[in-house]
Structure 1
Amino acid sequence: MQHNQSIKTWENRLADRMSAGRASEGAGCIAWWGFSPARNLLRLGPVTFDGEVNILLVGSGDPRHILKTVADSPDKQNLHIWVIETSMEVVARQLLLLYLTLLPQERMGINEKTEVFLELFGNGEIRSQTEETLRRAAAELILSVTETTEEAMHACLNTTLLKFRERDELTRIFKLWLQETSPAASSPVLMSKAWDYRVRQHLGTRYDSRKGCFDWDLTMKLHEKGCGIISKQQYMQWREKGLAFEMREGIYQITNPTLLSTRVFNQQKGDKVGIRGYWGDIVSSPYLSFGVETDDRSLLKTQNGQHLKTAQDLSYANVQGLFQSLSSRRGCLTAPHSDPDAGMAATLSQQESPSVNDLMPLGGVSVTFLPLDSLQKLPQKQKYRHYFNTIYFSTTCVYQLGPAMRQIAAPDGVLVVELAKYVLDLNKEQEAGFAEKAASSALEAGFEPWREAGSDGVHAVLVQQKKK
């Protein structure tokens, strides 16, 4: 009993630090992107799944695993992906990124789509063309979430199981995006100031020597952890300005409202005040999701010990490749070199934006968003008993991992836990402690490590304990 309490206490501290911690924490209190590269979740573990598969994602933060898993799976496989997030702001972002992913090529060429996706994904400030795409997407998503039919308008943007107040909140967020990108916006939040505030809070007295701090985090942490592809120039620019992807000449000066959220602070008198700003990661970087791993060895070539390509190049190639695979899945083969020039492509700014009904259908694939508080309620519903073939927990949600998981995992179910390898605020001892506590919580939930799994420190792969 004492052991269980110590685990819970440690996990509560971690949850406080990672999810609602001090403003000075580099990881932030909202996960706009994950702390691990995109993986095909069905390839993690000993089981090869055929036919219909149910995957539960808890706190993944972005759709990287969804895109990678679908793109790498056979067309005949039916994939049902269920998503639980920690805030409706993250749900809104997930819906936006999935909407962009599913834009048909006749509406937006794959090269342009890749650029717009990465710009909205990892840039605090965006170009005017991207702002226009965002506005049109937000308007269509408002119609999607306010639709009162029981069936989703698109199988991969299913919000019908969310509570009414959660769908109202999504509508409010999408409308806020429209307001904040409007020329008539009153007192808009300037990302440059919001970003600088976070950097100042994080570094404190080290702010004046911040470039040295940035360089230390890159060379002594990210590079040491195997992310040598992240170039100094790009990482320093992201740490300084929040600009990760600058792929095309243009003016990046419009605040990206999808990276803004409201955080509640306690005042000295006991009152609470909500402040809208940037409260996400300012240390680990959005390059982790798509920009540090690739199957194309040519992209990892080095010369004189230096990488010839950058994390931005990898992110572009990987996201473009995922879009290619997804287009092929719907039976519309395309090739990168045949993509029209962005200036000639039919863009959203030139014609009426497609409704959710017009997006690419991915045969046999559905993505359903569940209420924020649903994790502990799933075991109470007969439908979800022994239902999920793969369950994924992010670093920021490991504290929610408990005994109830054994009731919703399929008999051959696999549990994947994102570890803290790329949470740079943690030292090696804390990183190891995180992995140890995660393993203890998983054991309590009835899962044991998959013995054949390689320990890359990025994910722990576990299977249900064998009955003795």
Structure 2
Amino acid sequence: MFWGLSESLDFFKEYQHCNSQSFAKDSLNFLIYGSCDPRHIIETAAKSYSHNIQINFYVVDGCVEIIARNILLLAIAGENHDSLNLLQKVHLFMDIYGNSLVRPSSYQYLSSKANTLLKICTDQDVRTQLAPIIDIESLKYRERDGLENAFSFWLPKEKNHFDIEKSWEMRNRQLLKTRYDYRDGAFDWDLQMCLRERGAHQICPQEYKHWRNTGVAFTFPEYEQCLANKTLAAGLVRNGSTFFHRGYVGDVQVGPFCAFGLNSKEQSMLKSSHGENEYRSTEITERNLLELFHEIQNKTPYVHDKNMSRKYGNVVLQAGKSFTGYNPEAPEIADYNKPFICMPNIKVYFLSVDEVYEIQSRTKWKDFFDMVFVAQNYFQFLKTTFVEILRDNALIYFESNLHSVCTKEKLAEFEGKIKSFAKSLSLSSLTKGSINVKQSIFKYKFNKE
């Protein structure tokens, strides 16, 4: 919940690569079935300047708060360059995306942007003007009310209290039980024997342990995270002028590192010596987001300035709380109410939560999707009727639980379930490489007979 376990993908590139000989379409329909974050949308949108194909994303998630958070993250990616420069936008995204506690400037942005998102959610004319890539018409009224609750909860009011630190500690205690007093050893085992052994080499021990202890994944020495990230609250229910919620119910074992922080085009940034990286997953995430946001904004290829990336691979950064005088109810310094950066060939349709169960059986979606991405925790909802929503030559990508801390037996069991399900539907495997190489995504193609 809140972030996925696999790398971001350019869906258009994936589809074109597998259908190059027969590719002659004006538009493509992509289904994202429970990815928990908009990483694939952002990656695909960033590269869309190189082609003129209309790309329609249909997003299904089982939680309204996730939908609200996805809209916010897309808003940051599409934030007007007059409001934030490129580096500010990247660090804002990283803060909101991966940190339980955020900087005062990020909190201020969230507080201000919530007002704009409320208008986008409740007024179709405003939505058309400010966020033309967003479509929420398929959401039911109760779900739109849920969006309104989420955006209202993000406003800077004392009654909208969210003690993320207490909630995070409680989750850790429930998970570790008697091992809690020796948690650093447990954290090191999970990193070294599970995540890094399975390909997540770029995650450094100090950043992983800091995240496991505090929920703060991405840190820089000039920033202080000290205010609750309200986008991580789940189960919001309005109670008069305030809200009930379930606290933090997301992941406390893997972290937000997988989407943008494991690989880079800059091979020099992936170097390590005796198991110690020169760059953290944090710096890799920063570099990759700089590329994506640059291309969304400028519609030109990105050339990275290596001087922007600092080598903190083996540095333990001190994190404190120096902003104790900050007043969360202070007037907003900006409205952040300018239109999204123009992405004319991208449209994102957020579907009803009910579609988690119904999308496979509704005639509306028959022969509709050119590509489907299935998150690992949504695989359990699939039925054999799943193929009916696919067009000929459609791609089906199944996220594995490779980047998790589950046992090798559970890893193999889930992999077997994916392969068995694909075989029952006569899907053709696109996953190449050694049989012993584990995959974070299993790729298949569907051909009608």
- Report TM bin, short chain: 0.7 to 0.9
Equivalent residue for 1:249?
A: 222
Equivalent residue for 1:147?
A: 123
CA distance in 2, matches of 1:444, 1:263: 40
SS in 1 for 2:57: strand
Equivalent residue for 2:136?
A: 159
Equivalent pair of 2:119/2:127 in contact (CA under 8 Å): no
Equivalent pair of 2:102/2:225 in contact (CA under 8 Å): yes
Which of 185, 193, 196 does residue 159 from structure 2 map onto? 185
CA distance in 2, matches of 1:375, 1:193: 32
Which of 439, 442, 458 does residue 440 from structure 2 map onto? 458
> Offset at 1:450?
2.9
Which of 187, 207, 220 does residue 180 from structure 2 map onto? 207
CA distances 1:215-237 after superposition (whole Å, capped 9, x unpaired): 11111111111222111111111
Q: Map of 1:303-322 to 2, 5 A cutoff?
A: 303-322=273-292
CA distance in 2, matches of 1:449, 1:466: 15
> Offset at 1:447?
2.7
Aligned CA RMSD, in angstroms, stands at 2.6
Equivalent pair of 1:401/1:441 in contact (CA under 8 Å): no
> Offset at 1:185?
2.7
CA distance in 2, matches of 1:152, 1:88: 21
Which of 379, 398, 414 does residue 395 from structure 2 map onto? 414
TM-score norm. by structure 2 comes to 0.85
Tell which deviates more after alignment, 362-371 or 139-148: 139-148
Q: Map of 1:334-373 to 2, 5 A cutoff?
A: 350-355=333-338, 358-373=339-354
Equivalent pair of 1:401/1:445 in contact (CA under 8 Å): no
Which of 119, 124, 140 does residue 95 from structure 2 map onto? 119
Structure 1 pair 453–302 and aligned structure 2 pair: CA distance change class (3 A): closer
CA distance in 2, matches of 1:248, 1:95: 29
Equivalent residue for 2:318?
A: none
Q: Map of 1:232-243 to 2, 5 A cutoff?
A: 232-243=205-216
Structure 1 pair 235–326 and aligned structure 2 pair: CA distance change class (3 A): same
> How many equivalent pairs are there?
410
Equivalent residue for 1:279?
A: 249
CA distance in 2, matches of 1:75, 1:465: 25
> Offset at 1:128?
1.2
Equivalent pair of 2:28/2:55 in contact (CA under 8 Å): yes
Structure 1 pair 451–128 and aligned structure 2 pair: CA distance change class (3 A): closer
> Offset at 1:379?
5.4
CA distance in 2, matches of 1:372, 1:283: 26
Structure 1 pair 349–379 and aligned structure 2 pair: CA distance change class (3 A): same
Matched, 1:433 2:413: yes
Which of 352, 368, 373 does residue 387 from structure 1 map onto? 368
> Offset at 1:354?
1.7
Unaligned runs of 5+ in 2: 238-243, 309-330
Equivalent residue for 2:294?
A: 324
CA distance in 2, matches of 1:401, 1:379: 8
CA distance in 2, matches of 1:35, 1:294: 17
Matched, 1:176 2:148: no
Q: Which amino acid aligns with 1:233?
A: Q
Equivalent residue for 2:34?
A: 59
TM-score norm. by structure 1 comes to 0.82
Equivalent pair of 2:120/2:126 in contact (CA under 8 Å): no
CA distance in 2, matches of 1:32, 1:226: 21
CA distance in 2, matches of 1:159, 1:259: 21
Unaligned runs of 5+ in 1: 1-30, 265-273, 341-347
SS in 1 for 2:170: helix
Equivalent pair of 1:150/1:160 in contact (CA under 8 Å): no
Equivalent residue for 1:398?
A: 379
Equivalent residue for 2:327?
A: none
Q: Which amino acid aligns with 2:159?
A: A
CA distances 1:12-38 after superposition (whole Å, capped 9, x unpaired): xxxxxxxxxxxxxxxxxxx10001111
Structure 1 pair 461–211 and aligned structure 2 pair: CA distance change class (3 A): same
SS in 2 for 1:206: helix
CA distances 1:322-362 after superposition (whole Å, capped 9, x unpaired): 10111133x8x88777xx9xxxxxxx95443224xx11110
Which of 77, 81, 84 does residue 105 from structure 1 map onto? 81
> Offset at 1:158?
1.4
Matched, 1:88 2:64: yes
> Offset at 1:380?
5.7
Structure 1 pair 406–304 and aligned structure 2 pair: CA distance change class (3 A): closer
Tell which deviates more after alignment, 248-257 or 231-240: 248-257
SS in 2 for 1:289: coil
Structure 1 pair 388–381 and aligned structure 2 pair: CA distance change class (3 A): same
Equivalent residue for 1:290?
A: 260
Structure 1 pair 75–400 and aligned structure 2 pair: CA distance change class (3 A): same
